Amino acid sequence: MARDFAADIQDPIAGEIVTNVGVWVDKEVKPQASEFEHADQFPEPLLQGMSDMGLFGIKIPEQYGGLDLSFECYAGVCMELARGWMSLAGIINTHVLVGYAINEYGTQEQKDMYLPKFVKPDMRCALSITEPDAGSDAQAIKTTARRDGDDYVINGQKMWVTNGHRAGVYLVMTKTDTTAQPRHKGITAFLVPHETPGFIKGKKFEKLGYKGVETTELAFEDARVPATAVLGGNEGRGFQHIMSALEVGRINVAARGVGVAQAAFDDSIRYAQHREAFGVPIFQHQAQQIRLAEMIVKIRAARLLTLDAARKKDSGVRSDLDAGIAKLYATEIANECALDAMRIHGGVAYSKELPVERYYRDAPLMIIAEGTSDIQKTVIARNIVKEYPI
């Protein structure tokens, strides 16, 4: 196998884990992915395999039963999962993201309550931010949480929630102070169990790609949760907590971009050496050589940017700039490589008999998820200007 994501990972143990996941992807995921994807079926057997490898506990501390591995390792794992089927890396994303938020910012009671359940997982997670009138501008949310004695009462609607039907706990962004200035000071995050009265799991959205994992709407109609459900125990810190967690999400989505782009290249380089046109394999035509060369350069750069962002997160400092750069570049080149794979394969790529059309449908999701490309550019610009003061 020419591709080796583990080769760029500095920790030998992490590299071995990434290699093992890659072997599992080739053996178990790639032969089954198209069947699950075309049926839009939740891939329970594949999730069991991920669980058996301990991947759901990859960022959970050892004291709670997890593996407590690096973000660098996590990025490599997500590249391999997405190389097999992007949806698998999406399923694990919100799980790891919410676990990170609880471990980093939660109370000890919240850690003890949830983290051990995330390892197998006995409980899965969902992140709930977006609303009908609040997408990229997360501070514009209208979902409110009103204090009522020892409880909070939540009202509002959320959209585009991954794992929305299957999660056991939801990290929900709300407004506890609608008049706060700046707006983020009035935002509080809650850990809402799925059985909460007044919490309603709505319809599942039909999507172009990203199939097999449900994306849903949620509603809160006087949903009552105890004050102990506030992440970290204090109001007004939810925006900072969730934005920090989204750095983890952006590393995941960047890694997904690398994985999809790599899958598109792998299929294309093999096809180009077997398919003949004008009496020779199409790889011997300069136009295809140039296209494939450009693909592999982009993928290499995206992989290194993503691992660099993961190492920055591992260092314990803010990585919003690095994660934004990686997410922007890796997801954009995933779209470019998916389209190039279509061009290299020609008409057969438009058939569902090959996975190339799946890459083409999956890739656009990643330039939207966890902040659009335009949002990433804004994040990058706001950070780089700090390095060049007037």
Omega of the bond leading into 132 within 30 degrees of 0 (cis) = no
370 is catalytic: yes
Cα–Cα distance measured from residue 145 to residue 243, given in angstroms and rounded to the nearest whole number: 19
Q: What would the two tokens of residue 43 be?
A: 């891939």
Task: Considering only the C-alpha atoms of the chain, give the largest distance between any 2 of them, rounded to a whole number of Å.
Answer: 80
What phi and psi, each to the nearest 5 degrees, are found at residue 196? -60, 125
Buried b (16+ CB within 10 A) or exposed e, 347-363: eebeeeebbbbbbbbbb
Residue 278: Cβ within 10 Å count: 7
- Nearest 10 degrees: CA dihedral of 359, 269, 73, 107? -10
Would residue 278 be called left, alpha or beta, if left means φ above 0 and alpha means ψ between -120 and 50 degrees?
Answer: left
> Tokens 């659009």 map to which residue?
372
Query: Of the listed 37, 62, 370, 387, which one is catalytic?
Result: 370
Cα–Cα distance measured from residue 98 to residue 203, given in angstroms and rounded to the nearest whole number: 22
Cα–Cα distance measured from residue 130 to residue 46, given in angstroms and rounded to the nearest whole number: 28
Buried b (16+ CB within 10 A) or exposed e, 134-148: bbeebeebebbbeee
Give the SS3 label for residue 234: coil
Say if strands 125-128 and 144-148 run parallel, antiparallel, or are unpaired.
unpaired
Single-letter residue type at 270:
R
End-to-end CA distance of the chain: 50
Cα–Cα distance measured from residue 20 to residue 185, given in angstroms and rounded to the nearest whole number: 44
Single-letter residue type at 266:
D
The catalytic residue positions are: 370
